[in-house]
Amino acid sequence: MAVLLMKLRLVPDDELAAIEALLEQQGLDYYATTAGNWGISLPALWLVDATRIDEARSLLDKFAQCRQSEARALRDALRESGRARTMLDIARENPLRFLLHLAVVAALVAVSIVPFLQLT
């Protein structure tokens, strides 16, 4: 019986392609399910042979560690070169969306604090 290997919500396409290539390279049979037409189903990778789950999970753990170290190295290189995105860059790119998000945060803070201010 198939066993859940990993959920695919918020997994980028390039990462999914790399994971699938890695599984095929190691000879691990798998299949993928999608979120469906309405996006309410479970998008996931399923391992066909449940007896090889430990091997597959250790392989995915190593892959995740490598991907994490690559992402951190890229982030550090961007910071050192001065090309890393800052909050000011995000505000400049789309000021209306930035102000809307800021207003939503302020409204949530206000709603959270108002009950305590009315106690006194």
| Rounded (5°) CA angle 76-80-84 | 70
- For residue 2, how many other CB atoms are within 10 A of its CB? 15
CA–CA distance, 72 with 66 (Å, rounded to integer):
10
Range of the domain at 76: 3-84
- Residue 117 shares a structural domain with residue 71: no
Total-model pTM? 0.74
- Residue 62 shares a structural domain with residue 118: no
Domains in the chain: how many in total? 2
From first to last of its 120 residues, the chain has per-residue pLDDT tens of: 899 999 999 999 999 999 999 999 999 999 999 999 999 999 999 999 999 999 999 999 999 999 999 999 999 999 999 999 999 999 999 999 999 999 999 999 999 999 888 876
- Residue 91 shares a structural domain with residue 59: no
Q: What is the CATH number of the domain that holds 13?
A: 3.30.70
3-class DSSP state for residue 19? helix
- Residue 108 shares a structural domain with residue 60: no
